[in-house]
């Protein structure tokens, strides 16, 4: 890629697009972390009580559509 004033707008656009991809990835990782926390809690309850807890109600899909 060329450098200098002539390519400033192009470079800024690339950075903005990359930032949007990073934001989507962070959101996906946040969803994955939330699901892991729920599973850890489920197994923690099971070990603490000795009985399998009821399964939680199904949640709507956490996945976000990608443009």
In a domain, 24, yes or no: yes
State if pTM tops 0.85.
Answer: no
Between 6-15, 22-31, 32-41, 55-64, the lowest mean confidence (pLDDT) is in: 55-64
- pLDDT band at residue 60 under the 50/70/90 scheme: confident
Residues ≥6 apart with Cβ < 8 Å to 24: 64, 66
Alpha carbons 23 and 11: distance in angstroms, whole number? 18
Alpha carbons 43 and 49: distance in angstroms, whole number? 10
Give the chain's domain count.
1
Contact 35, 25 (CB under 8 A): no
- Domain extent, residue 20, equals 5-49
Going by the DSSP 8-state scheme, the letter that residue 7 receives in this structure is G
In a domain, 54, yes or no: no
Question: Tens digits of per-residue pLDDT, 16-47?
Answer: 999 999 999 999 999 999 999 999 999 999 99
């Amino acid at each position: 890629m060329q450098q200098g004033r002539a390519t400033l707008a192009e470079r800024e656009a690339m950075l903005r697009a990359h930032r949007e991809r990073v934001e989507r990835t962070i959101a996906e990782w946040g969803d994955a972390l939330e699901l892991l926390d729920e599973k850890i809690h489920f197994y923690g309850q099971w070990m603490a009580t000795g009985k399998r807890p009821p399964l939680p109600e199904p949640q709507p899909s956490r996945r976000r559509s990608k443009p």
